[in-house]
Structure 1
Amino acid sequence: MERRSFLKSAVAAGVGVAAVGATLAQSSTLDNQAQGGSRPMSPDMLYRELGKTGEKVSAIGLGGYHLGKQDDPQESIRLIRSAIDRGITFMDNCWDYNDGLSEVRMGQALRDGYRSKVFLMTKMDGRTKDSYNKQLEQSLGRLQTDVIDLVQFHEVIRMEDPDRIFAEGGAIEAAVAARKAGKIRYIGFTGHKDPYVHLRMLEVAEKHGFHFDTVQMPINVMDAHFRSFGKQVVPVCAQRGIAVLAMKTFGDNFILKSNTVTPIEALHYSLNQPVSVVITGIDSTTVLEQALEAVKTFKPMSDAETASLLERTKDAASDGKYELFKTSSHFDGTAHNPSYLG
């Protein structure tokens, strides 16, 4: 507690379409507040259940990486608060984003009563108990909070990552202890490389009698055609009551550069999947408005509409060249910085 106080003062993110549609239909403010706790809900935003946690969160999540890119920190703060004021409650972040700057700015933005309005998530790179604990204390300080709603093991992209996390003295011990101590509420993991790594993480967790609350993965218009998380991992999560957090809707704009889909179509496709949240990078007011417009205009897609969109992206998606997070090291922060793992 004393360390967190010091850090705070030092720094002055197998269900079908019909089922998704049924969830989205329950959009009254009264119902949203009843299921989402004390966080205020906007009638202009969609809210979904977060697996079996009992939480209800915005269907759009504010990606943390892009929030450390603005030259003026006040611009980042205004963007975060604007998103919250417009109904976005799910905040994404990570211990290593922009060398911690993303968490610092989010922590500053969540002052003045904004912390109670959001479901706050961040991620830890550490694979050992010691490295996880050190990173968690830093994140608590940067985010200026005593409790983080969801902490996920970041970049589970290697087949050995599950073994390291669940080994004796591994990061899972630190996460469980932090949850017991009230520093974190829920535990999940993320990854973007290959669905088999996700499946192995779930298998190792099951062997240890551990249930993940969330799993974050790429869900986009090209994923269905190449090493598909949607086809291979989502059904397992649905069976086990694990909330799916979607990311890489645009693949850092590489998917949009294929000229096969518009930003709104890409967001609609991801929103149409059986996911709790679509986490998307928002670095400007223009991009924020785009995400809000996608929510406003979203309607559950028919099977024919989905098939048509997937047919349009099939050829471009066939070899993964637009999903660089699967086929290159471009997005692998822990590969470029192995010391983060501990």
Structure 2
Amino acid sequence: MEYRVFGKTGYKVSALGFGAMNLPGVPLEQARETLNYALDQGINYIDTAAAYKNSEEIIGACISHRRSEYFLATKTAKRDYEGAKEEIERSLSRLQTDYVDLLQIHYVNYPAEMKEIMSEDGAYRAAMELKAQGKIRYIGLTGHRPEMLAKWIDKGDFDQVLFHLSLPQPFAADDLIPSANRWNMGKTAMKPLSGGFVQPVDKALRYPVSQDIHTLISGMVSVQEVDENLRALEAVIEPQEQQELAQLAADMGSHDCRRCNYCSCPLEISIPDVMISSVIRSKFGLLPKGEAFYEKHKEKLTSCADYDPCKEQPLCEPKCPYQLPMQRVIQETASTL
């Protein structure tokens, strides 16, 4: 296992981290076996959140007795002081621990949210108070708009940042990582498979690890998946492969969607899923979860071209901060189904 110094924290984290968001979907004994196996293999970064159903409780029940062996990160999506303080205290109880190594203020995509978080009665104040009490060691920020995250972290208020970095979403490499480096922040990448869509899996995992990050969190729910992830990252990534992966990511990211979720569709089409998978789908095909998505939503996708309110002006596109041709991509994709 490769370990990297996690920015200003000084902690050596495993290059492969454990994302616990999907654990509530499997039996408790399977979750217990998977978490303990991951720790046995040297994975020492565990990521969860208050919003991930009972993920925190699973971690507390399964590995709290091994607390000294892992760096524990959780999240609050509350924006106000009282709500955040209450949620963080509840997380500590669920995780069966006196402290978390990292508390991340979660899923911040709008300037108004950030303003509220950093206000006198905002979530950041709650995090700072609990840090002073020893219940939080470090404070981080997460979101889906790398260029906005770069702006928000550039005052030195945060110790870590969590962001998308994958073959079809490579944008943080240019938009965010340089800003994080200026402040010696911990850099955590997420969603290498973009929610279970992207293949080939080995390249999907090796690309973010080949970039200037500290740890990659991958959602694993079985011993088999832990082994698959470890095997994919076993070989050293040489400079030539790093360049090849970077070029592939540039090609696969040509759709330009950041999954910021500003857009919405009256037909309830999941626009980011279509946009992000559009290029990689045509080149490599998709994992079973991705193919199932298209099968499930085929009728919605093919209805786009005939939806009268969007014929003159698509309702989704004015909401996109990146001015992306979403209607065209959806209709082109629908024509291949």
Q: TM-score, normalised on structure 2? A: 0.74
1:265 CA drift (Å): 1.3
Q: Which runs of 5+ in 1 are unaligned?
A: 1-44, 257-261, 333-342
Deviation by residue 1:48-90 (Cα, 9 ceiling, x = unmatched): 10101111111111001011110x2111111111111111110
Q: What are the equivalent positions in structure 2 for 1:218-233 lying under 5 Å apart?
A: 218-224=164-170, 228-233=171-176
Contact 1:120 1:149 in 2 (8 A): yes
1:305 CA drift (Å): 2.9
Picking from 159, 172, 196, the partner of 1:213 is 159
Percent identity between matched residues is: 31
- 2: CA distance, partners of 1:134 / 1:274: 35
What corresponds to 1:109 in structure 2? Answer: 62
- Are the structure 2 counterparts of residues 326 and 245 from structure 1 closer, same or farther at C-alpha, using a change threshold of 3 Å? farther
What corresponds to 2:7 in structure 1? Answer: 51
Q: What are the equivalent positions in structure 2 for 1:158-237 lying under 5 Å apart?
A: 158-192=110-144, 194-203=145-154, 206=155, 210-224=156-170, 228-237=171-180
- Are the structure 2 counterparts of residues 135 and 164 from structure 1 closer, same or farther at C-alpha, using a change threshold of 3 Å? same
- Are the structure 2 counterparts of residues 295 and 255 from structure 1 closer, same or farther at C-alpha, using a change threshold of 3 Å? closer
Q: What are the equivalent positions in structure 2 for 1:304-323 lying under 5 Å apart?
A: 304-320=240-256
- Are the structure 2 counterparts of residues 331 and 283 from structure 1 closer, same or farther at C-alpha, using a change threshold of 3 Å? farther
Question: Is 1:271 the equivalent of 2:209?
Answer: yes
- Counterpart of 1:74 in structure 2: which amino acid? E
What corresponds to 2:304 in structure 1? Answer: none
1:331 CA drift (Å): 11
Picking from 138, 141, 145, the partner of 2:97 is 145
- Counterpart of 1:130 in structure 2: which amino acid? E
Picking from 124, 135, 139, the partner of 2:87 is 135
How many residues in Structure 1 have an aligned counterpart in Structure 2? 267
Deviation by residue 1:102-126 (Cα, 9 ceiling, x = unmatched): 0010001123x31111111100111
- 2: CA distance, partners of 1:50 / 1:167: 28
- 2: CA distance, partners of 1:307 / 1:269: 10
What corresponds to 1:157 in structure 2? Answer: 109
1:320 CA drift (Å): 4.2
1:326 CA drift (Å): 6.0
- 2: CA distance, partners of 1:283 / 1:327: 30
Picking from 200, 204, 225, the partner of 1:287 is 225
What corresponds to 2:28 in structure 1? Answer: 73
- Are the structure 2 counterparts of residues 324 and 172 from structure 1 closer, same or farther at C-alpha, using a change threshold of 3 Å? closer
- Are the structure 2 counterparts of residues 67 and 246 from structure 1 closer, same or farther at C-alpha, using a change threshold of 3 Å? same
1:316 CA drift (Å): 4.0
Q: Which runs of 5+ in 2 are unaligned?
A: 265-269, 273-337
Question: What is the RMSD computed on CA atoms of the aligned residues?
Answer: 2.1
- Are the structure 2 counterparts of residues 314 and 271 from structure 1 closer, same or farther at C-alpha, using a change threshold of 3 Å? closer
- 1: CA distance, partners of 2:263 / 2:38: 32
- 2: CA distance, partners of 1:241 / 1:315: 29
Q: Does the residue aligned with 1:48 lie in a helix, a strand or coil?
A: strand
- 2: CA distance, partners of 1:223 / 1:326: 14
1:200 CA drift (Å): 2.9
Contact 2:45 2:72 in 1 (8 A): yes
Q: 1 or 2 for the larger relative contact order (CA 8 Å, sep ≥6)?
A: 1
- 2: CA distance, partners of 1:315 / 1:143: 41
Question: Is 1:301 the equivalent of 2:247?
Answer: no
Q: TM-score, normalised on structure 1? A: 0.73
Deviation by residue 1:230-250 (Cα, 9 ceiling, x = unmatched): 101101111211111011111
- 2: CA distance, partners of 1:55 / 1:238: 16
